[in-house]
Structure formats: C-alpha cells, structure tokens
A and B are shown apart, each in its own frame.
Chain A
Amino acid sequence: MTMITLTINGETRQLDVDPSTPILWVLREQAGLSGTKFGCGIAQCGACIVHLNGNPIRSCVTPVAAAANQAVTTIEGIAGARPHPVQQAWIDEQVPQCGYCQSGQIMSAVALLDANPDPSDEDIDLAMSGNICRCGTYPRIRRGIKRAAAHLRALQEDSSNG
C-alpha cells in the first residue's frame, strides 16, 4: 500500500492504496463515490468513464498510480449550482432507463461538448460509440447531446454579448 494524492472533483485527497488498483475501485470503495460504474472491467463498455485532467478515461483499466497528483472528475463533480447542461438535457429528453450506463454516457458527452460545441451525427457516433447502453437509449442520448449543445452555445453567446 502506498499513499497517493488525487484531486477528486476539486478536493485533494490522500489515499492509502495499492498503486496498481484501477481508479474505478478507488473511487467506489475508498472515496465513497459510487456514481462511477463497473460494467465490464476490460475497457469495452464505458460505464466507468471519468475525466482525468478533463479527458475521458476508462477508470476500470487505469491504475490509480497513473492519476497521482492529477485531477479526476466524476459524475458527482460536473454540476455547479444547477445541473450541468448535459444533465439537464438528459432530464428534458427523458434519456435514462435503468440508468446504470448513464454516468459514463454523460461523462463522454460532456467531454465531447467541451471539445466540440456543435457536434454532427458523425461526431456523436465517434465520441459515444465506446459507451454501451443495454437499455438502448441511444436515440435519446443523441437528442440529449444536441439539446445540450444548443443550450451551451446559447449560454456562450449570452456571456459574450453581455
């Protein structure tokens, strides 16, 4: 066991862990953040996606040592005073069914929109095809991303106009 320092959702934490443990299990079992999910354990499904320094990674195959002294953002950390526009779009489009994959879907969608404020269908396919949804919410995820993108662009215009 080794002491590792991680900044999780803006909060710096010292964790006594085996450095080869995937971040997923450290988040869920040590940090008490269960929003990040286990789906396959082999980088196939995306249920475990979190952001490392803003980039989406699969926490089930990323050892915690690789994140030492860096910033991890999970589903619990993306809302401000109000839900993140992606979360709001998910509610507006009634996206989730069982909901289990949705933390990973939302983290992928947030990363997509951070990089590309106006994604095409092909961009969405590319960014989101690493996330499996067994309940088949893909059509709604697509609509949710477009709605969130429009909302984010409107916010940006507001702030640049004002």
Chain B
Amino acid sequence: MGKWTRRAFITTGVLAGGAVIFGIAIRPGNRAAKLAGLVAGDDETLLNVWLKISPDNTVTAIVPHAEMGQGTHTTLAMMLADELDADWNDVRMTEAPAHEEYANYALAKGYLLEDPEFPGFLVDTVDGFFLLATKWAKLQITGGSSAVPYTGMLAMRVAGASARAMLLQAAADQWDKPVESLIAERGMVREIDGGLSATFAELAPRAAGVPAPSNPPLKTQEEFRIMGTSVPRLDIPAKTDGTAIFGIDAVVPGMKYATIRQAPVFGNAVKSVDESSIENMPGVRKVVTLDGAVAVVADGYWQAKQALDKLAIEFEKSDNDTREQSDIYEHFAEVLDAAKTNGEEEIDFASGDADAALAGAARRIDAEYRVPYLAHSPMEPLNCTAWLHDGRCEIWTGSQNPLGFAAEVAGALEIELEAVTVHNQFLGGGFGRRAFPDYAVQAALIAAEVPYPVKLIWSREEDTRHDFYRQATISRFSAGLDSDSKPVAWLNQFVDKHEPVEATRIPYAIDNQKIHYATSRTHVPWGYWRSVDHSLHGFFTESFIDELAHAAAQDPYEYRRDLLTDQPRFRDVLDLAAGKANWGAQLPENFGRGIGLQKSFGSYVAQVVEVEITDGKPVVRRVICAIDPGFAMHPDGLIAQMESGIIFGLTAALYGEISIHRGAVAQSNFHDYRMLRMNESPAIETHIINGGGKVGGGGEPGTPAIAPALVNAIYDATGYRIRELPISNHKLGPGGLESKDVA
C-alpha cells in the first residue's frame, strides 16, 4: 500500500481504533457507542463521523477545528456539503468535542509518511500552526500528525462523497433501480428519468447499513457547486450582536474570578507572598500560589485585580535577572562567529560550492539583518474557566488544540484524560498563542484549591509579558555577483531554526548556495507566530535580493523575474502584483514602491507596497497582493485572510518589538506594544490565481512578504536601507537616514 489512497484512508480509520474513525456506520451497538452518544440525538442517524443527517434533512458537519476567525468552519462545511450534494441552506456546524476518539479520526500517520507528497498538501485555509503546535507539545494524538487540519479538509470531502455514495446506494436498493439511474442534488436523491425521489433524511437509516464505498469518486473542479464560491460565513451574524460566546464569556453557575501575576523574569519561582497586604479587601476569597505565579480569587475580576495589584509578592532571583536585549544580540553575534570557526554550524541547505563561487565572484555584497521578539497579542486576553467536581475537571476556554489542553490539564491534576472535558468556545484571536495550554493548566490548578468553578482572566499586561515569542534573531548574508551582476553565490547564516524547513529557501536560480545556522536558545520562551519562520526569513531574503538588484543597478522586479527561470508560479504572482500595481509608473514625490515574494504553506504570494514618507515616518498608502493558493475554496475568505495577514505583518514591521530588560519583557500593553490602527491601514487589493495543484493555505501566507516589500519601498523613496526591525526605530527623511534609534 505504498500510495495513499482514499481506500486506505477509510480502512485506516477503521483499523486505528475503531470503526469510529471513518466507520461510515456509527450507530448504537457498535464499538463507537460512546462516540455515537455524543453526536447522535434521537431520530438521527449518524452516517459517519464527519456528518450527521437529522430528520428535518439538516446536515450537521462535525468540524474538528476551532473557529479562530478564518472561516474554518464554513470552509470545512462547504467541502463536505459539496461532495455530499447537500442543500447549503440546510448545513449546520458543530465543533467536535475534545474527545480522544475525535482526535483519533485523524489519521494515519503511517499513511501520511507513505505519501511523500502529502505534507505539501496544505489544504489549510485554516490554522497552519495548529499542526506545528501539536508537534511542539509532543501530544502525539493517536493517529494525529502534523497534518490534522489538512487531512481534516480532505477527510471532509471523502466523508461527503462516501455518504453521498451510500445514500445513492440506499435509494437504489429501496427502489430496486440501478444506481446509475439516480442522482443526488440539494439534499435529495432522485431518478434521472423518472418520478422517484427521497430526501437524504428519509434514506439515511438505510444508508447507514450500506457498506462504505472503498474509493468514492471526488468531484473535479468543474463539478464544484459550493467550493470556490464565497458563501456567507456561518459564524458572522453572532459576531455582530454580542451573542458569540468566547472563552471569556463562559458562564458556569457559582463561578468566581481569578487573575494572576507570573514571575516577571521567565523561570523564576515565587519566594514569598504576604497575604496580610490584602487583608479585608472586599470580595477576596483566596490566594493561590503556583509554580512561578500567584493568583487571587475573588467575587469579581475587578476585585481580584485590585487585590493582586496590592498583594506583596517576592520572586526568587536568577542569573537571568540582569539580562538585557543588547546582551542577547551580542550573544547571537558571538554564536554566529564561533560557529564558523568551531564547526558547530548546521547546514540548512547547500548546492554547488558557495564559498568558492563567492571567492571567485567579480563583486561581493554583504549585509546583516536583525529582528526582535514578537508577541501574539490576540484581542481576547487569555482566559480559562475550570470546575473540578466529582473527580472530573471541566474547562471552558478558546483553544487551538482542545485535546492537547485536556491532556495537559489531566497531567497537571493527575487524573485520567477521560476525566477532563474541554468546552471549546470561539477564540478571540489565536495566531499560535492559543495552542499553548499554560493558562488552562493554571485555571485547573487554581480550581483545584476551591470548591467552586473559577474563571481565570489574564490582564493584558500578563499576556504581553508571558507569551511564547516569535524569536529574535540575526541573519547574515554574502552574495557574489558575476561581471553581469547576476548572483553566482548566496550565503546565509542565522541564529536558530524552527519551522517550516523551507522558510529559508529562495526561488531564485543561483547555482551555489549555502544556508546554515547556529543554535542559541535564550531564556525567552519560543512559540509559533503567524507564518512561523517565514515571518523573519521572508524579510531577510527578500530584502537581500533587493539589495542585490540595486547593487546591480537593475529594477528590483525585473531582477527577480530574470532569476525565476524555472518557477512559473512565482513568476505569475510576481507579474500579476507588479502589473496591477502599475510597476514602473511615476510616483509622486516622497513616495516609494517595493516588492516582496514568498511561498509559504503551499501558497505563492507577491506583494507591492506604495509608501509615502511624511515627517520622517513611512505611511503605507496601498498594498497590492497576488496569491496563487492552487485553488481558492472560498475566494472572499481568502481575500479577508490576505488583508488580515498583511495588517498583521505591517504591524510587526512598523512597530513590533518585544525587548528584554533586566531579564523581563519591557513592554506591557497596547501603548508600548503598538498595533496598526484604522488611520494607518492602507488600501489593500488582492488578486487570486487558481494555479491548480494542491490547495495551499490562506491564514498565514499574507504575512511574510509584506515587511520586505515595505522596507524595499522605503529604500526606493529614501535610499535608506532598513536592516533592523521595527521600522519605527528609524527616522527617515526624503534624502535618506536622518537619525537612528530615536527614542
């Protein structure tokens, strides 16, 4: 079974623990009784784990992913409904409970590994970092691999197609007609040339007894009715009237509120807490000391917060207490220097002989870039409500990884995984942060100390200071140009590699390349941040190629284009973005134009920025974005994700900086960790190419190319090359740099 097939997929599910998994027949009496009980009500037939057909003919898609705002639920439901030929108006969504059997659905690590192409199958318009986070947490959800969301997407289609085939077969059996004479359409099966028809609901009980098809045919793109259209997102109405329930909105009768202070310096423990400092404060119920943190429980959040602010807490000291951001950068530089001499460098990618080509080149260009730590800052502060009762723990929160949270909570409380129930709510932003279960574990440990449910809410200050940060790093480049100013050698050395592996790769035809890195972990916790390593390497490589173009005195767009000899999809998005931006046309005074290109999570993206320099500050006026995701499942959703990713990336490029002072994060809230606002938000145009092939992501690919496009535009306007982010640390003038590191 060397090749991953749909047949194998279905079989795998059955083998991996049960019929539960892909078992088209989940019905009372089989091994999946427990699961069936979770999702099937009276009179409902559960055709398969992915969908439920109710007596009123509504089809409920059971979506294994949290809704973070990318329209994940809608897109997954579309795929299922289209293959099923359901009536879209009768499709409902429900998120799968964090239950082991649901995680198990997944699949088939073995099969993934047997299909070398599969990891590239990034059907995620979803949360790409879910997968990385799963790996990080070493959760190894049974059958769960890094590809949960992707497979989920495919599984949706297979499930829909399987169920459709079974419904058709059920009708054929019932009417004694050949299945070829029947057709499924908008929730019905009918005879093509006759009068017989029945709803899916009428056929469902019988269909549940039909054997699962071994290899249900999936629709071709031409046959899509729902996929590829921009149906209104299912989650939006509730997000306009206050009825959407986020984790922070969960209500459990009798609950109290808690808030927490963690040791400012990562890793330091609590030395002492003087509870007399908050004696008699109103509403205060309890002080709970955890590992490196102290929480106050009170009748309301405000009371807890007031008391915590007054509470005298002393933390232990450590060697990290004197660490400054400048020490960290210095250390990075030392590690990079040392790696070259002591041989501790790791080769990331090599082709040809880059050192020799550099030595023999007509010209040599060098540059060093650096980027700071970044926080996620989801709009909803971290929170979790926990209730321990009857030997069980229930939690209400917004999680990108509900089963992982359940496992961590179970571990912390030393109870069985089955004794933990996660009620996952809407996420007020995740961006990778809500894959880390620290706040859920804290809530559970606090709840373990009291006889009532507790809602733990972090302040924004804690959120900013106790994140898992996008790494700060230094990246050094050397390139050799031949006598025609074409690059013949590309050398890149940087600190710390995470994922995805290909984030450092360039699409340009340069024969001799050496990309290598040295490892230098700091005490600052690291986490997956929207687009992960692409967020920094996109900035580095697309800035440096721009520097080469200028060194060659060539147009940066043409220079890139000439180097994309075997990269038609890169070329197409580059051409589209440049064309739509009217590249080359005269711009007003003090304006500049820059371009950036990056493929990430299976999608090719090119972006052009138009910037105006006023009062020494860059004002981004317009962004033109071209994306080829293979196929846009939901074009408007993809456009929204591009807008979102661009604004996220612009925020980081312009302002994003988490710095370490005396071992702790210096920033605390939105006044010193700034976000882009409405008045700074540019006009954004997105153009989509359905280039074919595997379907790429949407949530992350909008982010990586925007920072380089912006600094390249600033260079175009001013002649000043920004090699260190954020841009707000530089003061610009029309003639170039005026001063640096302004306060």
Binding site for B on A (CB under 8 A): 1, 18, 21-22, 25, 28-29, 32-42, 44-45, 47, 74-76, 79, 83, 87, 90-91, 94-103, 106, 124-126, 128-142
Of B251, B379, B677, which one neighbours A135 at CB under 8 angstroms? B379
State the CA gap A130–B675 with chains docked (Å): 11
Chain A residues whose C-beta falls within 8 Å of the C-beta of B387 in the assembled complex: none
Of A37, A42, A134, which one neighbours B675 at CB under 8 angstroms? A134
Shortest C-beta distance, B601 to chain A (Å), equals: 18
B245 interface residue per 8 A CB criterion: yes
On whether the beta carbons of A139 and B670 are closer than 8 Å, the reply is no
- Give the interface SS of chain A, mostly helix, strand, loop or mixed: loop
Shortest C-beta distance, A88 to chain B (Å), equals: 8
Interface string of B224-258 (1 = CB under 8 A from A): 00000010110111111111111011010000010
Of B232, B302, B457, B640, which one neighbours A21 at CB under 8 angstroms? B302
B669 interface residue per 8 A CB criterion: yes
Of B235, B302, B380, B681, which one neighbours A37 at CB under 8 angstroms? B380
State the CA gap A33–B245 with chains docked (Å): 11
On whether the beta carbons of B644 and A136 are closer than 8 Å, the reply is yes
On whether the beta carbons of B647 and A79 are closer than 8 Å, the reply is no
Shortest C-beta distance, A15 to chain B (Å), equals: 12
On whether the beta carbons of B681 and A136 are closer than 8 Å, the reply is yes
Shortest C-beta distance, B285 to chain A (Å), equals: 14
Q: A75-B242, A133-B379, A137-B643 are in contact. Are A44 and B670 (CB under 8 A)?
A: yes
- Nearest B-chain residue to A39, judged by Cβ: B379
State the CA gap A45–B377 with chains docked (Å): 12
On whether the beta carbons of A98 and B380 are closer than 8 Å, the reply is yes
- Give the interface SS of chain B, mostly helix, strand, loop or mixed: loop
Shortest C-beta distance, B292 to chain A (Å), equals: 23
On whether the beta carbons of A42 and B460 are closer than 8 Å, the reply is yes
Shortest C-beta distance, A120 to chain B (Å), equals: 13
State the CA gap A16–B677 with chains docked (Å): 37
On whether the beta carbons of A38 and B671 are closer than 8 Å, the reply is no
B679 interface residue per 8 A CB criterion: yes
On whether the beta carbons of A139 and B380 are closer than 8 Å, the reply is no
Shortest C-beta distance, A68 to chain B (Å), equals: 17
On whether the beta carbons of B640 and A97 are closer than 8 Å, the reply is yes
Shortest C-beta distance, B44 to chain A (Å), equals: 29
**Residue among A1, A95, A101, A133 with max Cβ neighbours from chain B (10 Å):** A133
**Residue among B283, B300, B459, B645 with max Cβ neighbours from chain A (10 Å):** B300
Chain A residues whose C-beta falls within 8 Å of the C-beta of B651 in the assembled complex: 136
B102 interface residue per 8 A CB criterion: no
- Nearest B-chain residue to A141, judged by Cβ: B678
The 7 A-B residue pairs with the shortest CB-CB distance in the complex, in nearest-first order: A35-B242, A136-B647, A99-B239, A100-B428, A98-B69, A97-B69, A138-B681
State the CA gap A41–B248 with chains docked (Å): 14
On whether the beta carbons of A94 and B669 are closer than 8 Å, the reply is no
Of B249, B378, B681, which one neighbours A134 at CB under 8 angstroms? B378
**Residue among A95, A100, A140 with max Cβ neighbours from chain B (10 Å):** A100
State the CA gap A41–B462 with chains docked (Å): 12
**Residue among B232, B246, B670, B684 with max Cβ neighbours from chain A (10 Å):** B670
B444 interface residue per 8 A CB criterion: no
Of B240, B242, B246, B379, which one neighbours A45 at CB under 8 angstroms? B379
Chain A residues whose C-beta falls within 8 Å of the C-beta of B381 in the assembled complex: 38-39
**Residue among A74, A83, A134 with max Cβ neighbours from chain B (10 Å):** A134
B427 interface residue per 8 A CB criterion: yes
Given A95-B240, A136-B646, 17 new contacts (CB under 8 A): A34-B249, A35-B242, A44-B669, A90-B240, A98-B380, A98-B427, A99-B238, A99-B239, A101-B379, A131-B678, A134-B431, A135-B429, A135-B648, A136-B643, A136-B676, A142-B678, A142-B681
B282 interface residue per 8 A CB criterion: yes
10 intermolecular pairs with C-beta atoms under 8 Å apart:
A25-B302, A38-B457, A45-B379, A45-B670, A75-B241, A90-B240, A130-B677, A134-B648, A134-B675, A135-B429
- Nearest B-chain residue to A106, judged by Cβ: B240
- Nearest B-chain residue to A36, judged by Cβ: B242
Chain A residues whose C-beta falls within 8 Å of the C-beta of B637 in the assembled complex: 94
Q: A91-B232, A96-B69, A98-B428 are in contact. Are A1 and B282 (CB under 8 A)?
A: yes
Q: A83-B241, A91-B237 are in contact. Are A138 and B678 (CB under 8 A)?
A: yes
